[in-house]
Amino acid sequence: MEVGKPAPDFEAESSKGKIKLSDLRGKIVVLYFYPKSFTPGCTREIQRFAELHDKFTELGAEVIGVSVDSVETQKRFSEKYNARFPVVSDKEKKISISYGVLNEKGTSAQRVTFIIDKDGTIKSVLSGLKKAEDHADKALEIIKKL
């Protein structure tokens, strides 16, 4: 998915129940994909998003994490690291495919963060960052400028 394109809508189960992206129109959305719950990089990433959650909320932004793990795994991962935002199960990989982030083997999502503006347009795409936790900090920097 590219900057300037409409963000593909989806409806999926998450750690906080069913979520539909289009229901968040009018808010900035930080949609971050990660490879696998409970791995070191993904753990640092969810911890950083959890630490910065209040700052995202103050700026009118919603954070949503996505991986191909099961809903049960997402709930455990979210609870363990006090994530107050939904963590989506993309077990069927439809969301990862629609955003173009499924890895070459087709087994998991790549680490990519999308900043989606209030009208549902992709404003920024973050990938290839050295540290997983940098996704949260960079996303916050971008949102402060919107």
Q: Which of 42, 115, 136, 139 is an active site residue? A: 42
Beta-carbon count within 10 A of 133 CB: 19
Distance CA 20, CA 40 (A): 28
42 belongs to the catalytic site: yes
Nearest to 109 by CA among 31, 7, 49: 31
Distance CA 144, CA 44 (A): 22
| The residue type at 19 | I
Which amino acids are annotated catalytic? 42
